[in-house]
Each structure stands twice: as C-alpha cells, then as structure tokens.
Structure 1
Amino acid sequence: MSNSEINIFKQKALQLASSYDVFCYLDSNNYKDQYSNYDCLIAFSKKQEINISHGDAFEQLKSFYEAQKDWMFGLLSYELKNEVEDLKSNHTDQLQFPDLYFFIPEYLIAIQGDDFHLLKGEQAIINTINNVQLNEYLPLPKVKIEHRFTKKEYIATVEKLQNHIKRGDIYEVNFCQEFFAANAEIDPLGTFQELNQLSPTPFAGFFKIYDKYILSATPERFLCKRSNKLISQPIKGTAKRSLDINEDELIKVKLKSSIKEQAENVMIVDLVRNDLTKSAIKGTVKVDELFGIYTFPQVHQMISTISCELNPEIHFIDAIKNTFPMGSMTGAPKIKAMELIDDYEKSKRGAFSGSFGCISPDGDFDFNVIIRTILYNETTKYLSFQVGGAITYAAVAEDEYEECLLKASAIMKVLGQNPVL
C-alpha cells in the first residue's frame, strides 16, 4: 500500500473503532523508535475487562494477565500511588476515571510502515473498515477554558514549594495546574484528529472507556519491556521552538547545555535508576542516553534513556508497580514530592500523569505518560487538561508559568482558545 492509502485505512479503522464502547488507539506518528514493534495499534470491541477504583489493583491486573495471556490495553491512573505508597488524595474528582482499567480486544490491527496486520479478529473486519465513509469533522463552538490557579496564585505556590526545597524536604517537585471547562461539548474523535495533526508525537493515543475519553499528544514514554529489558525515557527540560531555522538550532544548543535543565533532568534520571533497581538484575541498570534533545512541533525536549535487565524472579507487573508513578511527574525524593503535590495542587490528577498502553501475550509492554492530553467525561460534560513542570531551587516562577502555557498551547488552539493567556 502507498503511504496515502495506509493513512486512509488508518483513519477509517480509527473511525470504526471509535464507534465501540471501548477502544484504544496508539500512534507513533512515524517517529523512529528502536523500542517499538509497530507504528500504530488499533484495539476495539471489548471481549473482557478489569475495572478497579481501589484496592489491590496491580495484583488483580497480574491475575488477569496470567489467566488470559492475551493482548490487553489499559489505563494506570496516577491515583494508584495511594496503593503503591501510604498516600491519599483529598481533591474532588470531576472526571471519574477508574484507577485501573484494562480490556482484551476482539479486534486488533497493527500498522507498520506501508502495511497493516490483523493480529486479532475475523478477516471480515477489513472489508468493513474499507467500506467506512469518512466523516467530515465540523468544529463545535469554542470551549470556554477556566483556570484553577490565577497567575499570581501559581507564582505564590511555586515560591512555597521552593521554601520546602530550601528546608531540604525535597530537591525537585513536578507541580501542575488544571485548565478545565464545565458543560463542554466536543466531538472526541474530531478533536483528537485535530490535536494529533497539530501536535503529532511518538506516544500519541486515543482511549475511550465508555463515556470517558483520553485524547493524548504525549511525547513521553513511561516504561516499556522488550524481552528481558526494561526501558524508561523521562522528559525533563523544555524550550520553545522558533520559526527561524538558525535560531531554532541555537535554542537546541542552549537547551542541551543549560545547567538548570541538566540539573532537573539528572535528578529524575537518578530517581528512575533507583526505581529500576528494585526490579533489575544487580549491576544492569545503566543510562543509555543522557540529555538527548528531541524536537516536536511546539517544543524541544531533553530526554534521557535508562534501562536494565529484568530480574526473572520479578513479575513484569511488579516491575511496573516498582516504578509507578513515573519520576518525571512526581519529583525527588519521590514520596515527599507526592505528598506536597497533594498539598499544593488544587485538582485530583486522576488519569492525568498516569499512563496508558498495551501488554502483549508474551509479557512485553509499552506505556506512555499522560501529559499534553485532554480528558473528557461525556456524561458530565467536564473537560480537563493539566500542565506543569519541574520546580527546583533555581526555578523562576514566572518562567515556569510561561512554560505551562507553552505546553498547553496546542490543546488551547484545538479548543478554539488563544494559546497565549
């Protein structure tokens, strides 16, 4: 198939999949990635599911996998931190995503290069996809976005967190703010397609769990397993792009050499190394790449890669639990940072800064980080997205606020808002 033909097939398959109660779409947007087996996965028509909002979620997921040993796609909410550690969240939950949700699809289509493979399901579904008439997306009225924090409140809170750093409570914390809309009416599929076109990223995805939607343009991998190897790729370090080619290159050089950004990144690298040690064969944890600079439509990002060999005595689900939640969205030390996040943020994170992805029948898996993502409850019509950044001793509160707006810019534009607030 030609590139244009495979793209049309992908869009038809996505449109068909989105008509089911539950489906998951994972798209690399053709970014080259040595750890990915497919460019795109489309899973739909739920055969079985596991839906947990409290309790021993990881143990139940382990039992579910061992009983089925099939392809499964799912969500790990940030709120699973309360199970991993002795923590709690006091904020109200406007979106009501489950803490953990996985399903086994009846149909699974994989796209690799200019070809597709039906990994699960009857061959007749391919004819059904080819006969789909693509809908024309008609934009709905603009969504009115509100802020949980005023700029003044945000800056004051950053300064309070920096006082904790000065006291030695933490070294770094990922502090986030919510943008939201009540009574929002969107076309989830059309909104995702527009977001994915405006901001294509390597771990993008669209996940529908009945009336709840995750529309993601995330550039970050949380954790993946390939054979006996675990790989984590935290992002810490962001710079705005320039339309001027020469200036854009200079921005990349400046980001690469920034002492502040390197300090933020290396703290999280150390945290991830420590998390991986819990599941690794002794002596195998290593940093494959430190301070790599990767370019996306709106930003340049500093990304490091850490890997290890999984101890064969440790179940891969426990390896996920041992690294969850991801260090890039918490801080260091991790537990104290999460306590302060609950104290100073105004919104329950829920699915935000959690992860979604897939597990293969042989126990390999790949999970992203839920950032640069719209979360939507179709029943309550509540729409939300959160953005944040690393607060360190050297952070400038005003700059951190501007970075939040930069990270929110693509979503703001898709929702009909001026991205500069």
Structure 2
Amino acid sequence: MVVPSVPENELERLADLLSYDILDTPAEEELNEIVQLASDVCNTPISLISLIDDKRQWFKARKGLDAQETSKEFAFCAHAIHGNDLFMVPNALEDERFWDNPLVEGRPDIRFYAGVPLTSAQGHNLGTLCVIGTEPATLTEEQIRALQILAKQVVTHFELRKNNRHLTEALKTVDKQKEELSSHNKTLTRLLSIIGHDLKGPVENLKQLFSLFVSAKLSKEEIDSLAADLNGRLESTSDLLGNLLSWATSQLNDASLQSDKFDLHDIAEEQLHRIKGSAVAKGNSLLNKVKKGSVITADRDIIRFVIRNLITNANKFTSEGAISVALEESEDLSRIVVADTGQGMSQEAIKALFNWNDRRTTAGTLGEKGSGLGLLIVRQFASQYNGRLIIESEVGKGTKVVFEMAKDIDMEPSTD
C-alpha cells in the first residue's frame, strides 16, 4: 500500500477548507441528492462527498456507506486531490498503491474508484466527489462528464453556503450596529432633554444672581445672603453636571466595566469627608461602618459615584441625624448600604423616583434643590452589575438604600 503524500500547499489548502466551516456539520438534502445521482449515473453502490483534513477523510454526504469518516492514510481521495482531473482506479486489486489497503481487503471491499477533485474558488482541492464499486469497472466519457458537472455543483453549493454564512454574520453586525446607534440616539435625546429640563433653570438663576451682584445696589447683608445662596446653587449645579457626564459616559462608552481591586473603606471615607462640611452645618454625624481591609473588585469610579450620590441624598433629607455607609457580603453578592435617620419617604414617593420622563424632586431639609438624576444613574449601574437598587424607607424614621451587585460578572482588567 502506498500512503498518500502531503500536498505541497497543504497549509494553505487546510486553511481554505476550514474557511468553509463545513467539517462535522449535519447532512444537507441537496448534497445527499447529488451523491444519489452520482451513484445512479455511474452504476455504483457507493458515492461520497469526501473532505480531506490533516488526519482523516470526512464525508459530508454519503450513499451506500455507514462510516462517517476514515483515516487519511487509507483514503483513495487523499491520492485524488493531488491532481485536477478525474482520478480512476479500475481494479484496486491490480494497483500496487491499493491492493493491500484495509478498505480493499475488508469492508467496503473497494475494487473500483473514480473521484473528481472539489476545487475551491482559491484553487485548492478540498476533497472529492467519488463513486465506488465492489467489482472492477471503468466509466464512459458521458459518465465522467456527468461526474465532473456534479462535482462543480458541489463546489457551487459550498461557495453559496460560505457566502450565506458571511452574509448572515454581516447582517448580524449591521443589526448590532443599528441597535447601538438606536441606543446612542436615545441617550443623546435623553441627554438633550435633561439639559433642557434640569440645567436651563439653574443656569438662568445663576445669571440672575450674578446680575444682582454687578448691579452694585445691594447692602452687605444682602450680598452675604446672596453669596450663600449662590454657593448652594453652584454646588447643586456642579453635582448635576457631574451626574449627567457620568451617566452619558456610561451609556455611550461600549467598554466593559473596569476590574479594580480596592479597599471600600477608603472610598467610603473619602466620600464622607467630601460632604463633611455640609453635614456638620446640618448637625448630621457621619459614620463609616465599612471595615478597614474590605477589598472588593469593581469599577472604582462607578463605586465612588454611587457612594457620593447616596450619601449626598441622605444628607439632603436629614437634619440633626446620622448617616452611615456599610458593606454586606454573601457568596454571590456585595451590598453597599447607605442609611440615614432623616425624613424618609412614602411607598408612593419611592415608586415615583425612577420615572425618567417625569422626574419629581423634593426639596431637602434646608430647601436644597436636586434633579433626581443621580438615583436613576445609580440604579442603571446596579443593573450593569446584575444587581438591584433597593430602597427601604419610612416617613419620619429614615431611609436605607442598598446598592447590590453580583460578584461573578465579566469585567475588563484595570489599566491602572
């Protein structure tokens, strides 16, 4: 037996074969009909569409044979792919290349073989369309021509199948891009709405206050009062802008969440210190209940944003009370808990917090203004972490807000 040699362009041929993504795929009716027709035309009990990879011949379609594949070293087709014309063995018992081949000595008892290479658009022979008989034989010119035509039909089917797959993938890409564009358009529309709804008023108020300052018609007491008012409005407008930019960035940025490892105690301490001045002015005590060394894995900037917004809200609605930040953990979840002893909310008020199109805000204990945007963004961040934003509140007794996030979501490694 002569073992088939390796084609000179084997690496390129195999790469071309794999590009069709056809190996080990289910049978297809059109190809089954071609092998049936090949057997009928050539009067053979067996007909195959055989594809040769690096170690085997695998049958995409077969008639008269139970095996799905055979070893490449025994494959007649592995010899046939070395040429571009019909490869025919009239009597395998009289051919020194095949007389002692296991497929000749045993089942399927090959005596006659004729195979036409399946040549791809790139010029590589992927396999053959072959017919096999158990008695010595030969083919007429008409049979050879018919087999060659059928082989071309097999390659045409392969090419159409490949093009359809590429088209399907391209359409999926287009659909994804359309979804992303639609999402971005909705984000931009909402962004413009927020700017018009939430920023226009504060900016106009600031312009009026500045006009009063430059009018030089105010007393010192009036200037001091306006200065305090101006400072408060600047702080609330600054917070709104920060929230708006954070939300817009999270919506328009397609990157995955960053995977940072950090001590939550330090982030909580940093953000509590940030509101210390306004908390003291309102008689509120601040308590960091997150234990030192409470390392979590999350996007540091998002967690900073979440804690800042939740404690700012707590301070807004609390006077002569207490505000705390804590961490609760289970096997699957991490929960950042911000609690206060402030004025609390009714269940109806809680339900109304998350209406993007009809956001209603309540003035704080000192008349502080807000946009209601921060809490909506925090809830969106919770959903990105496969978690929830849970609010428990009772009028006159305070509020507890839980930012819940799953521990097993996919995140991009931090570049810090």
Question: After TM superposition, is the score higher than 0.5?
Answer: no
Which has the bigger relative contact order, CA under 8 A and spacing at least 6?
1
Larger Rg: 2
The structure in which a higher percent of residues are strand is: 1
For the aligned pair, the TM-score class normalised by the smaller chain equals under 0.3
Q: TM-score, normalised by structure 1?
A: 0.21
When the two structures are superposed, what TM-score results if normalisation uses the length of structure 2? 0.21
